[in-house]
Amino acid sequence: MSVDESTSASPETDQQPTHQCAICETSLEQSSQHLADNRETLVYSCPDCRIGAKAVVQQSGASSERCQRRFDSAQADAVTNPSVYTLAAFATDEFPDGQYHVTRIGEHTFEISLPESATQWDILRLVDRLSVGSLSAVAENRCIVVRDTRWPDTSTEPVPDGGIIQARIADGTVPDPADDPFAVADDDKPRTKRAKREEMDVSFHQKPGVYEVHSASGSYYEVDVIAETCTCPDFKQTCSDPDTPIDKCKHLRRVALEIEAGTVPRPDGKLPDK
Ligand SMILES: [Zn+2]
Ligand SMILES: [Zn+2]
């Protein structure tokens, strides 16, 4: 295995300090730095959707025994709690030196890219390592896609802003937000835009005011429009934080839109009058 000596003057594009959230396209913010001998891991996370994240691992040679023990425990942890950090622990010094990126591309789906010098054999070895417990790993091009199979199949990942736009008027004109609750307005907040555009199934619950929202990523959240609560991580982490002003997650927003549009029963359980 020889390293290509003509690695010209083109700098790696991933040397850029900014990384974008693969889910909502917001710029990721650095959230932690892990230094070990011959290895540096920078973890970035999304300040907006709170799901998107990336670990950038710079690997250069063998790690100490103590460091290896930390990898072992992170790997064991990844089986029950996959994160960009715990999955990064699978790229140890048995794999080529260089930069590894672990990106969260869906709520339960991650993508790992290997350095240029990695061979197909290295990729397959890492796939094999990652196929453990509920994790399913497959090689795709020069990346590895890892999914947590405890969750339903995520063939449809969350749609980023700019993805599906509700087209409700047959002649192709853009609906006026005043007429159509699902029309996206320029000044809509990011969460409102996602509430309007993303694929979500909303169904009415037995309890008054409670709706179930099935997101495109396969997650299930319970939205209570009377108490104004949602069981999603965004609501728990941001919207109910006493330090931030009360905010509604995209699921609460979506249910309000569905009620307004008459596509689900009103909170009192009565059918919309059409
Ligand atoms: Zn995001
Ligand atoms: Zn929510």
CATH number reported for the structural domain that contains residue 69 in this entry? 3.50.70
Task: Give the pair of three-digit tokens for residue 149.
Answer: 């199979």
Is the domain of 141 the same as that of 232? Answer: no
Whether 2 maps to a domain, the answer reads no
Q: Is residue 6 part of a domain?
A: no
112 and 206 both lie in a single domain = no
Predicted confidence at residue 244, as pLDDT, reads 58
Domain-embedded: residue 266: yes
Q: What is the pLDDT of residue 196?
A: 78
Q: What is the pTM of this model?
A: 0.53
Residue 89 CA to ligand 2 centre (angstroms): 30
Q: How far is the CA of 48 from the centre of ligand 1 (A)?
A: 5
**Which helix (H) or strand (E) element contains residue 121?**
helix 120-130
Q: Provide the pLDDT for residue 272.
A: 54
SS3 state of residue 224: strand
Query: In this structure, are 37 and 75 located in the same domain?
Result: yes
Q: Where among 111, 131, 148 does a domain terminate?
A: 148
Among residues 117, 148, 179, the one where a domain terminates is 148
C-alpha 5 to ligand 1 mean position (Å): 38
- Ligand in closest contact with the CA of 237: 2
Together in a domain, 171 and 141: no
Ligand 1 centroid, distance to 125 Cα (angstroms)? 30
Which one of the ligands is nearest to 251 CA?
Answer: 2
On whether the CB atoms of residues 80 and 133 are closer than 8 A, the answer is: yes
- Tell me which of 148, 176, 203 is where a domain ends: 148
Q: What is the pLDDT of residue 6?
A: 43
Which ligand is located closest to the Cα atom of residue 158? 1
| Predicted local confidence at residue 17, as pLDDT | 64
φ, ψ (nearest 5 deg) of residue 126: -70, -35
| Structure-token pair, residue 251 | 């699921």
Cα(70)–Cα(262) distance, integer angstroms? 53
- Are the C-beta atoms of 217 and 157 separated by less than 8 Å? yes
* Same domain for 222 and 125: no
Q: 146: closest CA among 94, 92, 96, 78?
A: 78
Are 119 and 70 found together in one domain? yes
How much distance in Å is there from the Cα of 46 to the middle of ligand 1? 5
For residue 234, the ligand closest to its alpha carbon is: 2
Q: How many angstroms does the Cα of residue 230 sit away from the middle of ligand 2? A: 5
On whether both 186 and 235 belong to a single domain, the answer is yes
Residue 256 domain boundaries: 156-274
Q: 230: CA distance to ligand 1 center in Å?
A: 18
Whether residue 131 is found in the same domain as residue 167: no
**Do strands 135-140 and 220-224 pair parallel, antiparallel, or not at all (unpaired)?**
unpaired
110 three-class SS? strand
Low pLDDT (below 70) residues in the chain: 1-17, 153-179, 205-206, 239-246, 269-274
Q: What is the pLDDT of residue 240?
A: 61
Give the ranges where 218-273 is alpha helix by DSSP (H). Answer: 233-234, 250-261
Please check whether residue 235 lies inside any domain of the structure: yes
The reply to whether 130 and 21 lie within a common domain is yes
Q: Which residues pair with 29 in a beta bridge?
A: 45
Q: For the chain, how many structural domains are there in total?
A: 2
Identify the three-state secondary structure at position 67. helix
- What is the Å distance from ligand 2's center to 250 Cα? 6
User: Rounded to the nearest whole angstrom, what is the distance from the C-alpha of residue 32 to the centroid of ligand 2?
Assistant: 26
Same domain, 19 and 138: yes
Is 122 in the same domain as 24?
yes
* 54 C-alpha to ligand 2 centroid (Å): 22
166 and 97 within one domain:
no
Q: What residue has token string 């700019």?
A: 162
